[in-house]
Amino acid sequence: MCGLCGFTGKIAQQAEVLQRMTDVITHRGPDSSGFYSDDSISMGFRRLSIIDLDTGHQPIFNEDKSLVLMFNGEIYNYKALREELLAAGHRFETQSDSEVLIHGFEEWGEKLLMRLRGMFGFAVYNTKDGSLFLARDFFGIKPMHYAVVEGELVYGSEIKSILEYPKYQKKFNAKALDHYLSFQYAVPPETFFEGIYCLLPGHYLWFREGKVKTTRYFEPTFAPDETLTEAQAVDNIEKAFEDSVEAHKISDVEVGCFLSSGVDSSYVATYFADQKTFTVGFDFGEKYNEISWAQNLSKEIGVRHYTHLIGSEEFWAAVPKVQYQMDQPLADPSCIALYFVSKLASEHVKVVLSGEGADELFGGYTVYNEPHVFRMYQKILPEKMRYALARSAKKWPHVKGRGFVLRGARKTEDKFIGNAFMYDDEEKRLLLQDPSIVTRPQDLCRKYYDRVKGYDEETKMQYLDINLWMVGDILLKADRMSMANSLELRVPFLDKKVFEVARTIPTRLRIAHGTTKYAMRQAALRHLPKATAEKKKLGFPVPTRVWLKDPVYYETVKKMFTSETAQKFFHTDVIVSYLDDHFNGKEDNSRKVWTIYVFLLWYQIYFADDDKVLRPD
């Protein structure tokens, strides 16, 4: 795992600028650095050595040095590709997966991407024609950002690098704030920095003669095979996943595993006998502490288990550090917990495997049960009557059944924007100083729903989450929090061969008997205790709702909510009322409060000073 950055064209103090851009992402690769420059480009690199420790340094060149590569990620089928390229006449100087990429690109061009099995973000510069090629992996496991500044391309694994480029004028993107308030993250390809974009998953980019052209080379579509029996589906999942885990364990350094009480990471951990697993929790009861579950499983499967109990003060002190590392505000409090488990793991290993992606691919989120729950209600009650009843329910007190009536009235496309829905357009108009930026979050989702009109409701929800939630939240925090601790995180569920199986599983086997991720759980059951394989999903529970009722943390947030920064963006009386109602037990506003608090904290770090980023200690 590494980090890369660079820019085309020439500027004053070119070497010093490139050095700053590279230094600011040292955490992504503390082992070594690499640089390439000519009259047309400057490329920087930081390396975390995982494969071919002695000779796999970058930049990497082809035989005649007409192509220059810098690469972040891992290619798990690199040995097979290397044999194919050797047979085609290519000559290798290292044993690294990086060199396979440069020769593969020389041999196959853009078609190389569909041959790869792995996670990647890489840049290839052609010294002969001056073109630059950027690519990002199928699901967006590894990041890539870019901006066009005065006709030149600036790029980086993290936005921090681009901010060091002196010709880029840092400017806040209000469109991203509108999206963030609804989704809890900046929705790609937009970022909170005007003019800086996220290269979308499954896309590549060409920069030629001052122009950017992006192309999608992979789309994660579903093709359910209705002839599959349960036994066949479970067999296929088990075989593909076992193969994926073995591929993801390829390394020249020790590999460990994150472990929660859930089925996803537990299933991964069953392949780690005699190795190390890592868990963190909070001292607020079993709901917020999965350590005992993980310890019991660790004993049963024979792994060495390491734990850390996160204290309240420790958590709150880390929030500014985490938001700095994230580059953009992320209102998912589990990213702070992920920071701590990454820190713990980095003290023992250099690589970990984790369970991200299982829910999106195999249908694991509880909300995916909703279409089944509402199907009969929507069949019996005509749409107009459902909407009339829902309008009335808005005025009801928060009694049992109110939520059912409200959610049951609307179609999936009108209510589901992903696993997080913070503020709707009406709420945003009430709290924002500038309501002109407000849009309906459903409108942003429409283009994704339009691509899957023929799918059932459950599959539509999965498709949306794969393209938005997984990219903007799940994989963003996984990359940034592990890399903040110089730790490589690998995700065997998000493997091309695993997805080839997942896309064929019919909905009746993804969600069955009120159980999400049903077929995958049955595969895991062959390796895990029944209680673990069938355990309901918790996510990564963080006690923010408890803390926000504590006078100490209530005052911390209130101070931020009445600050000059808050007044710049929000009607402070409105946001304070959200906080007060939560503190007084009138309403659980913890997620809405946390969303605004995190944004304000992030803004003070990145925009309080126009000239620099105020990096927390």
CATH H-level superfamily of 230-363+474-533? HUPs (3.40.50.620)
Answer for the pair 37, 495: CB distance below 8 angstroms, yes or no. Answer: no
Q: Distance (Å, rounded) from C-alpha 207 to C-alpha 213?
A: 7
For residue 1, name the pLDDT band (cuts at 50, 70, 90): low
Asked which of 137-151, 246-260, 376-390 is least confident by mean pLDDT, the reply is 376-390
Choice between 87 and 404, residue whose per-residue pLDDT is larger? 87
Residue 555 and residue 280: Cα distance in Å, rounded?
27
pLDDT band at 538 (very low <50, low <70, confident <90, very high): low
User: What percent of the chain shows pLDDT beyond 90?
Assistant: 81
- Least reliable range by pLDDT among 182-186, 411-415, 447-451, 472-476: 411-415
* pLDDT of amino acid 3: 96
Q: What is the mean pLDDT of the segment spanning 159-185?
A: 98
Looking at residue 570, its pLDDT comes to 98
In this model, does residue 147 exceed pLDDT 70?
Answer: yes
**Average pLDDT score over residue span 399-405:** 78
User: Does pLDDT of 50 surpass 90?
Assistant: no
What is the average pLDDT score of the chain?
Answer: 94
Q: What pLDDT sits at residue 500?
A: 98
**Helix intervals (H) in 562-617:** 564-569, 572-583, 590-607
Contact 257, 263 (CB under 8 A): no
**Residues noted as catalytic:** 2
The pLDDT, as a whole number, for residue 479 is 98
Model confidence band, residue 539 (pLDDT cutoffs 50, 70, 90) = low
Residue 316 confidence (pLDDT): 97
Strand segments (E) across 99-218: 118-126, 132-136, 145-149, 152-156, 196-198, 203-208, 211-216
Question: Could you give the residue range(s) of every CATH 3.40.50.620 domain in the chain?
Answer: 230-363+474-533
Ranges of CATH 3.60.20.10 domains, the chain: 2-216
Nearest to 264 by CA among 533, 541, 542, 500: 533
Total residue length of the chain: 617
Alpha carbon distance 245, 490 (integer Å): 9
- Terminal C-alpha separation, the chain: 24
Higher local confidence (pLDDT), 53 or 308: 308
Amino acid sitting at position 28: R
2-216 has CATH 1.20.140.10 classification: no
540, pLDDT greater than 80 = no
Query: Angle, to 10 degrees, between the axis of helix 312-326 and the axis of helix 590-607?
Result: 60
pLDDT tens figures, 556-569: 999 999 999 999 99
Tokens of 468: 């938005």
Q: Judge whether residue 330 has pLDDT over 70.
A: yes
Looking at residues 32-52, what average pLDDT do you find? 91
- 493-505 pLDDT per residue, tens: 999 999 999 999 9
